[in-house]
Amino acid sequence: MAGRLKQAGLKVTAPRIAALGALAGPGHRTAEAVFSAVTSELPKTSLQAVYGVLAALVDAGLARKIDPAGSPALYETRVGDNHHHRICLNCHAVEDVDCAVGESPCLTPSNMDGFAVQLAEVTFWGTCAACQAASTAAASA
């Protein structure tokens, strides 16, 4: 973790190492979940400090922040590939989706007016397979 922080030009601190560790691996975590993980190692860390650390990690390109409508911001370490997300409206599970392929009107604005697109964020909202199966099982019971 320290090497990644140094390579990104960030000062190596215990809260940054702990936060990066809390974000490691697949998945998406709220600032509160990162705070919980960090305070288990560093009990005197504040939530405000964790927000500052997360902002620094995002600014340095070590983490990505997504802001799903109606939900707290989520952080992940999968960066640099412009992937998208799908969110279950029932259980609120968030999963990564590789870049959309094929016809993608949501990725090509109808009027560019000289605007150069660098990033597109797409969130697919719906019901995950597990929630659909549970709903079907409950309906037939």
pLDDT band at 126 (very low <50, low <70, confident <90, very high): very high
Q: Among 75, 99, 132, which residue terminates a domain?
A: 75
**Residues spanned by the domain of 116:** 81-140
pTM for the full predicted model: 0.84
CATH of the domain at 38: 1.10.10.10
pLDDT of residue 80: 82
The token pair that represents 74 in the structure block = 């989520």
Work out the number of other CB atoms within 10 angstroms of the CB of residue 93: 14
Residues 6+ apart with CB under 8 A from 74: 28, 29, 30, 65, 66, 67, 68, 94
The CATH code of the domain that includes 85 is 3.30.1490.190
Mean predicted confidence (pLDDT) in 83-88: 90
Given this model, what pLDDT does residue 36 score?
Answer: 96
Last residue of a domain, one of 58, 75, 92: 75
DSSP-H helix ranges across 31-128: 31-41, 47-59
What's the gap between Cα 63 and its chain centre? 8
Instruction: Tell whether the model's pLDDT for residue 94 goes beyond 60.
Output: yes
Query: What pLDDT, on a 0 to 100 scale, did the predictor assign at position 105?
Result: 40
Q: N- to C-terminal Cα distance for the chain?
A: 50
Residue that is last in its domain, among 20, 45, 75? 75
**Lowest-pLDDT range, 36-45, 81-90, 100-109, 122-131?**
100-109
pLDDT at position 4 is 92
Helix (H, G, I), strand (E, B) or coil at 112: coil
Q: Which residues pair with 65 in a beta bridge?
A: 75
**Between 25 and 60, residue with greater pLDDT:** 60
Q: Give the tens place of pLDDT for each residue, 37-47.
A: 999 999 999 99
Count the domains in the chain: 2
Which residue has better confidence, 141 or 100? 141
